[in-house]
Amino acid sequence: MLANPQGFYTLTMAAETKIKTADDGVREVGMTDARASLTSLIREVRYGGHVGAFTERGERQVMLVTPEFYERAQAALGN
């Protein structure tokens, strides 16, 4: 088990994750590997402070952010 900065503990999986870190720090996972990596990616975004992305053929299709980030973005846009 590993502790994150917020004090939560998570079980580590024996299988190697398919999540990669892009040059800009965004954590990316390909669509074909998304199902197997979904929980890990969500935890990295929520508790690790990362932004996540689902990719298809190397292109980002969808971004994954925390609810707080989304709310700040909506407020900044005046929505």
Give the pLDDT band (50/70/90) at residue 16: low
* Separation CA 33–CA 72 (nearest Å): 30
41 contacts: CB under 8 Å, gap ≥ 6:
19, 27, 29, 34, 52, 64
Instruction: Calculate mean pLDDT across residues 1-21.
Output: 55
pTM score: 0.67
- In this structure, what token pair is assigned to residue 10? 């998570």
Give the pLDDT band (50/70/90) at residue 22: very high
User: In Å, what is the CA distance from 39 to each residue of 11, 16, 55, 72?
Assistant: 11, 13, 16, 24
Collapsed DSSP state (helix, strand, coil) of residue 59: strand
